[in-house]
Chains A and B, each alone.
Chain A
C-alpha cells in the first residue's frame, strides 16, 4: 500500500458542499466536530477551500441551481479524493424525486464513493460510513 494513501486515510480533510439541503444534515455534520464525537481524533477536519479537501460531503438533492455547481466543485477537488453522499436526498432524491426542480440523482452527476442514508443520518452512522469507506479504500489498494 502506498505511503501517501495510508496517510490519506489517517488525515481526511472534508469540504462540506450544501447542495440545496434543508440544513438538518448540515447540523448533524457539525455535531461530529463537537466534544461528544470529536472526529479530529481520526484526523478529520473541515477544510475551508475545496482545493485543500480530500473528501466532498454532499447534502441535499441536485436541482437546476446546484447541479452544475456540484460538478464544478468535484472537478476542482485535487485527486485522489472521495465523494460522500450524506442523507437520503443526496443518496437518491428522497421525496423530492418527482419535484419540478430535480435534475437527476447525485451519482449520475459525479462518482459517489459512499452513501450514508437517513433523514438526517445520526453522527454515529456518519462515522461508521467513513470507517467503511476507509476500509474499502484500503482493500482496493492492497
Chain B
C-alpha cells in the first residue's frame, strides 16, 4: 500500500506531474520576461495538457501502430520511477537499495530512447532526421554525464543514493569542492542536452524539421510526451541537486531545484541553436575534458 502510494501519489506520478507542470510554467514565464513579454498564466500548462487529452488521435498510414502509441507511455513511466527514487532518497535516505544510482542513470535514458523509437515508428522523413539527431546527441552527452556522476561516487565511496545524501549531510555538500563545481557545470550542460533545450534542441528544431520525432503526434499521445518533457524538466535537475547539494529538508531541496531550473532556462534563452556536429564536437572535447579533470581532482580528494 505504501509502495503504491509512493509510486502513484507523493513522490510518484501526481507529484511529478504537478511539479513538471509548474516547472514548465516557470520556464515559459522566465522566457517571456527575458523577451520583455508578460507570459502565460499559472494554469497554462494544465490547460494545454487537458486540451490535448480531448483531441483526436491520428496514426499515420504505414506507421508501426503499437510502437507509435506505446512509446510515450513507456517514457512517462520511466521518468515517474526515476522521480520516485530521487525524491524518496531526498526525503528519507535510509530506505534505498544497492545500486539505485545505476538504475536511475539507465532509466533517465529511456525517454530519449522512446523519442528515437517514436520518430522512426511514425514513418515521416523529418521525424527520422530528428530521431537520428537525438541518437547522436545521446552518444555525445552520456559520456561526460557519467563522468560527472562518478565524482560523488568517488567522494562518498558508495553507489547508493541514500549514502551519498547522508555523506553530504554530515561532511558538507560536494559543490563546496573544486571538483564538485566543475562536475555541476558539466551536469548543467548535459541537462540542457538531455532535456532538449535550446543550444542542443536540434532533435526537434522547430524552424527546420518542424517538430522532429513529435511531428506526427496528436491528441493524448502528444499530451503524454509533453508531460514527459515537463516532468524531465523537474526530475533531471533534481538528480543534480541530490548528487551535489542536497538540503536537510524538503523545501530546501525545492529551493535548490528552482535555482538550478532558472539557470537552465537562462542558458536556454541566451543561446542560439548549434548544429549536431558542433554539439558532438563540443561534448566530446571540452565537456569530456572538464568532466575528466573533475574526476581526477575528485580522486585526489579535492
Contacts and interface: CB of A to CB of B under 8 A. Distances in A.
A7 B210 CA distance: 24
B210 A49 contact: yes
B57 interface: yes
Contacts, number: 83
Contacts of B199: none
Interface string A1-15: 011110110110100
Given A11-B44, A43-B44, A51-B217, A38 B38 contact: yes
Contacts of B40: 40-41, 43
B250 to A, nearest CB: 30
Interface string A43-62: 10000110110100000000
Interface residues of B, number: 33
Contacts of A76: 58
Interface in B37-58: 37-41, 43-44, 46-48, 50-51, 53-58
B32 interface: yes
B54 A2 contact: yes
A80 B48 contact: no
B54 to A, nearest CB: 2
Contacts of B36: 35
A79 B38 CA distance: 30
B62 to A, nearest CB: 15
Nearest to B126: A49
Contact of A43 (B38, B48, B206): B48
Interface residues of A, number: 23
Nearest to B50: A7
Given A3-B50, A41-B40, A49 B214 contact: yes
B217 A40 contact: no
Given A40-B28, A43-B44, A78 B54 contact: no
B267 interface: no
A16 to B, nearest CB: 12
B77 interface: no
Contacts of A48: 206-207, 210-211
8 contacts: A2-B54, A5-B54, A7-B47, A38-B39, A40-B37, A48-B206, A52-B222, A78-B219
Interface of B: 28, 32, 35-41, 43-44, 46-48, 50-51, 53-58, 206-207, 210-211, 214-219, 222
Interface of A: 2-5, 7-8, 10-11, 13, 35, 38, 40-41, 43, 48-49, 51-52, 54, 76, 78-80
